[in-house]
Structure 1
Amino acid sequence: MAGMAARGHGAARRWAVVVALVVVLVATPLVLRALPAADADVPAADLAAAVLGSADVGFSGYAVSAGGLALPVGDQLPSLADLFSDRTAMRVWWRGPEDHRVDVLSGAGETGTHRDATGTWTWEYERATAARGALTPFTLPAPPDVLPTSLARRLLSEADDAELARIGARRVAGRDALGLRLVPAEDAAGVERVDVWVEPDSGLALQVEVYGKGADRPALDTRFLDLDLAVPAAAVTAFFPPVGSSVRQAREAEVVLEAGRRITPVPLPDELAGLPRRQLEGAPPGIGLYGRGVTVLAVAPVPPGLARGLRTALDQSPDAVRDDAGARLAVGPVALMLVEPGHGPYVLTGTVTLDALAAAAGQLQQDPAP
């Protein structure tokens, strides 16, 4: 009995140690975030330039992205839906834009994305399956795109100086981070503001918060919890399919591109909802992209199966707006509308307002030619 009691006390002590470690791991980021952050007199334009110039800065770390964008993309693109509507934990090793690795960690397993000079490998550990994706002008968002560093560069890439302002400083990942706010100038913008928190010495964005119109909580919040400013070894980011694994071609982006090739395109105008059309190299003529920076509207034909899923989602959503212009839905700063002319369904979507979607749809139906 004494031995059993001793073993019981030993087990209790071990569990006490485990619980203590968990408490420390959970509490440490909160404590670090509560420490005062040192601000610096860096102009907003200079801070944005530092972010845009940080793509080649090497680092490794642990990041978490939390999204509230429940996109109604159907069963064809589940990974895209998960990326923006769920909490995504990512371990990253970054040597450069063409040499990095991002592992997504979840209760279901682990999936790694490895980028090299000619394409990407996606490795599903539990299924022992590797998918090779070619470099194309049209690709769907992937985990590396929602890292604070990558997302900040994308969102700030076309910002005017007049749209930028400084907003103080805060602690992120145990580091002082300078605040930068982007407020888009376009009337059609579905994004109210983007707050970026920047490590001033490296120019790396440590946290990005994207707010929709009238929202007091971010629709997307991606941040580092841990960051090491050292270049990872090349062996960490490199990938070769293990012997015995399954290898396939990644074709997720083809869902939209194939529809664009098969469906007779509507001639698209040079401007929609006050947004100028921009060139999308490599895309079929039936796909159009309008706007700049964080205010973007896409027009694309969709396959019948995906159109049915979108139609059902719009019909069932209590938040959808239904009027003479058609049914449309806003999820945070992202708006979506299905237009079904006689030659095939099109989807209008982007970071624009519902009024902008209605205007664009009416413009397409009344005068589709440039």
Structure 2
Amino acid sequence: MSVFHTRPALRWLVPTGAALAIIGGGAAVGTFASAAEPSLPERSAAQLLVDLQTARLDGLSGTVIKRADLGLPSLPGIGGRGSAELPSLISGTHTLRVWHAGPDKTRVALLGTLGETDVIRNGPDVWIWDSQKNEARHSTLDLGDGAAPKGRADHLPSTPQEAAEQALAAIDPSTEVSVGRSATIAGRDAYELVLEPRDATSLVGQIKIAIDAGEHVPLRFQIVPQGTRTPAFEIAFTQVDFDRPDPAQFTFNPPPGTKVTEEPLTADKPAAPPQLDKPTIVGTGWTTVLVARVPELGTAIGADADEAQAGMVRSLLDRLPKVTGEWGSGRLLSGKLFTALATDDGRVLIGAVTPERLYDVAQNNR
């Protein structure tokens, strides 16, 4: 699935990185497309991949709806529908306003019932503002030696032929690529590119990307689990404008009385999770499993754990079912699109695979 890491146009659908994590659970997902298919000139999957790779996006603003139903249990400390807190993005249905004027000028506003949370990137400055709490966090990116942020336009191929080679090479043999049904999204005609795992043991059935017929920018992104036709995750524009936003949209001045916290941050060295060993990748393609050792995890769920340090971990793990096998014992988080296993000896395994696949990997990677 490396296509998502190398396509700037695809990355735009999930702006500001981790701020819009695409993990969610909540209301059933509907559809953002109209019933009638627009009549569009025929284009092959290879041509659509070239369109994505060579798209030049000068500016964009609009409204995005994110819906998800991953079949996950409710998690502690996570806001539900109507919440404007960023952690709430892992649950339910949410509305966001987005603005984009280049890789170093982006703004995302998560709208809630009582307020909003904005993530703003303006050159080296990054702000996260919670209007309800009247709190703001500010970080300054250290790009280092004048290095340009990743995803800059001059990192794209210079010819369509080069783009086609790179795009097709990014999709490995474990993926079948085809053209789906055209649609009208946010009032615009769109083609549909479909990525489908060839390995039936993956929990992912299809990934569908609706691509604007004129601007070649993704307008909708869907993930459909194996054995169903209903997306478990969907994010799409309901309104979009391709004019370059006013620069004022990316300038943030904390309102009077705002509590401002300065947080050091660098572009190349983000803060890493504490005591997380370098993960191991087991397998290839859609059935890849990530295995990481978290030394603190075994302590947190052990009898001698320090309550102050381990309380949050225990609160989460205690809500998950206990599982055992030849590989050992632990807790299982199972959803429609991914499965995660936290073992009592301090390992975390996660993949878009069945629990049986994780148990097998846990047995052979002690």
**TM-score, reference length from structure 1:** 0.67
Aligned to 2:336: 332
Determine which structure has the larger helix proportion and give its number. Answer: 1
Match of 2:244 among 212, 231, 237: 231
1:157–1:256: structure 2 CA closer, same or farther, 3 Å change rule?
Answer: farther
Shift of 1:94: 1.0
Q: Whole-Å Cα distance in 1 between the matches of residues 169 and 65 of structure 2?
A: 22
Moved more, 217-226 or 347-356: 347-356
AA aligned opposite 2:100: W
Does the 8 Å contact 1:47/1:200 carry over to 2?
A: no
Aligned to 1:62: 63
Please report how far the alpha carbon of residue 80 of structure 1 lies from its aligned counterpart in structure 2 after TM superposition: 6.3
Quote the residue 2:225 is aligned against.
Answer: 212
Out of 299, 305, 308, the position equivalent to 2:292 is: 299
Q: Which amino acid aligns with 2:317?
A: R
Partner Cα separation in structure 1 for residue 88 and residue 168 of structure 2: 24
Matched-pair contact (CA < 8 Å) for 1:195–1:209: yes
For each residue in 1:276-329, what CA deviation from the matched residue of structure 2 results, as whole angstroms up to 9, or x when unmatched? xxxxxxxxxxxxxxx67x9563525265335423421212xxxx8664444423
Q: Which residue of 2 aligns with 1:129?
A: 135
Q: What amino acid is the match of 2:178?
A: A
2:109 is aligned with 1:107? no
- Counterpart of 2:18 in structure 1 is none
Which of 113-122 and 60-69 deviates more? 113-122
Hey, what does 2:89 align to over in structure 1? 83
Q: Does 1:248 align with 2:264?
A: no
1:257 aligns with 2:273: yes
- Name the structure 2 match of 1:357: 358
Q: Does 1:194 align with 2:210?
A: no
**Closer/same/farther in 2, CA of residues 201 and 321 from structure 1, 3 Å limit:** farther
Structure 2 contact 86–117 (Cα < 8 Å) conserved: no
Establish whether residue 313 from structure 1 lines up as the match of residue 307 from structure 2: no
- After superposition, the C-alpha distances for 1:70-129 in whole angstroms (9 at most, x for unaligned) are 656954776565213211101111112221111111113111111233252111112221
Three-state SS of the structure 1 residue aligned to 2:34 is: helix
SS at match of 1:69: coil
Distance 1:199 1:31 in 2: 14
Residue 109 of structure 2 contacts residue 118 of structure 2 at CA under 8 Å; is this kept in 1?
Answer: yes
**Structure 2 counterparts to residues 39-50 of structure 1, below 5 A:** 39-50=40-51
Instruction: Give the structure-2-normalised TM-score.
Output: 0.67
Secondary structure in 2 aligned to 1:359? helix
Closer, same or farther: CA 126–38 of 1 in aligned 2, 3 Å = same
Letter in 1 for 2:292: V
- Structure 2 residue aligned with 1:166: 179
Aligned equivalent of 1:144: none
**Structure 1's 158 and 333: CA in aligned 2 closer, same or farther, altered over 3 A?**
farther
Gaps of 5+ in 1: 1-29, 138-154, 276-290, 366-370
Give the aligned CA root-mean-square deviation in angstroms: 3.7
The one-letter amino acid paired with 1:50 is D
Question: Could you tell me whether the CA contact under 8 Å between 1:90 and 1:103 is conserved in 2?
Answer: yes
In the TM superposition, residue 222 of structure 1 has moved relative to its aligned partner by 0.7
**Larger Cα-atom Rg:** 1
In structure 1, the partner of 2:104 is 98
User: What is the CA distance between 1:248 and its match in structure 2?
Assistant: 1.8
